[in-house]
Structure 1
Amino acid sequence: MAERKASRTAVLVCQGRAVADGRMAVGRFSDPVAVELLTAPERVLVEQVRSGVAPQVFGDRIEYGLLSGVSETLATRTVTIDDALRDRGNTQLVILGAGLDARAWRMKELADATVFEVDQPASQQDKRQRLGERTLLAGSVRFVPVDFATDSLDAALAAAGHDTTRATTWIWEGVVNYLTREQIAATAAVVAARSAPGSRFIITYPAPSVRNTLGRRIVRPLWALARRQNPIADEPMRSTWTPERMRELLDANGFEVVTDIDQLTVAQELDLAVERGPFLRSGRIVVADRI
């Protein structure tokens, strides 16, 4: 992940949630805060995709297609994560790589919870400016700035007041694919060390997919041809995981897998008409509880 500037990917994810709000999985997915965190120029593409009318200009069409696909991803994984979060009801929530996540401002179920948002300092500064004086629905939120290249996640959480004697729900959404296996293992070890019995670990991760790997390679020159900035160009895919390997990682850190589901299955259960089924099939969400 880009470490010394606000994340463009965080904006893309926020735009995806804004596109999906009120249009996908209505009654199960809702994020009315997302659009309010976007600047006026960032909302233009959101409204274009929500209209369902693809633009004619080549570069605009590429941006339209990317955001349309992201919205399908965000709707399916957000429903699954939010359900798992509500089901556990822990009073500590740690969001690793929080970006422009709005759960603390949109989920009334967090009224008794302390939310720890972990992210790069520049990204957190950008988010706090976007939030302004927005009303918090969570009991409290603590921003935990961590430069993952130099800082200790364990020390940063301890300094922020995270209590290792209380059960915690951990959300690691849309981050694993940008990290090496060594980085993932190191973070999982910190999570394990700080998780009391009853804690829950929710992770989204990419399964191996030749189709998706080729697709990412093919689309790169298209961005250049369109003279547009690829929002994920600086965040290359660094690891993929089979469900078996993910289970081994969680088992080794004292977590027992409760569910591990692909996002296409989620979309089908939600009766969503999606255009990027193969891409969704390779995206997975695992929920594991502290043994």
Structure 2
Amino acid sequence: MDTREGSRTAVLVCQARAVAHGRLAPDRFADPTASALLEPGELAAVEQARSGVPPEGWGPRMEYEFLRATAEGLAPRTVAVDDAVRERLHPQVVILGAGLDGRAWRMPELAGTAVFEVDHPRSQQDKRRRAAALSPPAGQIAFVPVDFTADRLDDSLDAAGHRTDRPTTWIWEGVVPYLTRAEAAATLQALAKASAPGSRLVVHYQAPSLVASLGRPVARAMRRLSRQPDPMAHEPWRSAWTPAAMRELLTGQGYAVARDTDLLTLAGALAMPVRSRRTLGSGRVLVADR
């Protein structure tokens, strides 16, 4: 991430949720907070993608297709994470790399929950500015600024009031691909130490995929050629995990995997029309309990 500004990937993910809202799996997926967290220029691209009418010009057309494809993955991913949170309503929820996540505002089930949003200080500053337009959160919310190059996660959470003697649901969504394998392992170790028995971990990660590994650099090259902003310029993917490797990582820290499902299967369960089948097939959501 470019530390001079908030995460541009977080904006892209929020735009994709706004595109999917009311359009993809409308009986299961809804995120009314997404549009409220976006700025006018960001919303313009969302409205174009929602219209279903491709714009003229190579650059605008590419952004249109990219947003629609990203929305296809975000809808089943969001539903899977939300369902895992609802299944075990713990007194604490920690969202790692919270970005422009709206769960603390849009999930009434969190009314009795302390929600801790962990993110880089610059991204969090941007989030708090944008969230001023939202209604009050359902429960308590604490913003926990953490620069993982300089700060300890456990110390930061402790200072924010997180309790290690109470079960926690950890949401680790849209973060693991941007970490090296060593960084992911170190983060998981910190989570395990801060987790009381009964805690739950919900992880989104990427399985190895030739299509995905080639597709991202191609998309970036096309954005440069079309003079379109590149939200991934400072946030490259750094790791992919086979389901077996991810399971081994988690079991080594005392977690029992309840389920591990690819996004394509999750989309099928929602009866969603899918165009990017290969891309969704490599994204996965895993649920594990400790």
TM-score by length of 2: 0.98
How far, CA to CA, are the matches of 2:160 and 2:22 in structure 1? 35
Moved over 3 A (4+): 1-4
2:187 aligns with 187
1:229 partner letter = P
Deviates more, 1:212-221 or 1:95-104: 212-221
Q: CA offset at residue 67 of structure 1?
A: 0.8
8 Å contact kept, 2:36–2:133: no
How far, CA to CA, are the matches of 1:168 and 1:4 in structure 2? 32
Q: CA offset at residue 71 of structure 1?
A: 0.6
1:132 aligns with 132
8 Å contact kept, 2:15–2:67: yes
1:64 aligns with 64
Q: CA offset at residue 276 of structure 1?
A: 0.4
Q: CA offset at residue 218 of structure 1?
A: 2.1
2:83 aligns with 83
Q: CA offset at residue 140 of structure 1?
A: 0.3
2:250 aligns with 250
How far, CA to CA, are the matches of 1:199 and 1:4 in structure 2? 35
Q: How does 1:30-109 map to 2 (within 5 A)?
A: 30-109=30-109
How far, CA to CA, are the matches of 1:129 and 1:257 in structure 2? 37
- Residues 152-179 of structure 1 show CA distances to partners (whole Å, capped at 9, x for unaligned) of 1111001111000100000010010000
Query: Match of 2:112, SS?
Result: coil
Deviates more, 1:170-179 or 1:229-238: 229-238
Residue 158 (1) aligns with residue 163 (2): no
Classify 1:269/1:6 alpha carbon distance in 2 versus 1 (closer, same or farther; 3 Å): same
8 Å contact kept, 1:178–1:238: yes
Q: CA offset at residue 91 of structure 1?
A: 1.2
Q: CA offset at residue 136 of structure 1?
A: 2.6
Unaligned runs of 5+ in 2: none
Cα-Cα RMSD: 1.0
2:273 aligns with 273
How far, CA to CA, are the matches of 1:263 and 1:114 in structure 2? 28
How far, CA to CA, are the matches of 1:74 and 1:133 in structure 2? 23
8 Å contact kept, 1:96–1:170: yes
Q: CA offset at residue 151 of structure 1?
A: 0.6
How far, CA to CA, are the matches of 2:154 and 2:34 in structure 1? 29
2:142 aligns with 142
1:50 partner letter = R
1:64 partner letter = Y
- Residues 183-232 of structure 1 show CA distances to partners (whole Å, capped at 9, x for unaligned) of 00010001000111110000000000011111123223211110112111
TM-score by length of 1: 0.98
Q: CA offset at residue 10 of structure 1?
A: 0.7
8 Å contact kept, 1:4–1:120: no
1:59 partner letter = G
Could you tell me the percent identity over the aligned residues?
Answer: 56
Query: Match of 1:144, SS?
Result: strand
Q: CA offset at residue 65 of structure 1?
A: 1.4
How far, CA to CA, are the matches of 1:99 and 1:270 in structure 2? 25
1:175 aligns with 175
2:32 partner letter = P
How far, CA to CA, are the matches of 2:98 and 2:190 in structure 1? 17
Q: CA offset at residue 135 of structure 1?
A: 2.5
Deviates more, 1:134-143 or 1:13-22: 134-143
Count of aligned positions: 290
- Residues 84-118 of structure 1 show CA distances to partners (whole Å, capped at 9, x for unaligned) of 00001111000000000000000000000000000
Q: CA offset at residue 133 of structure 1?
A: 5.5
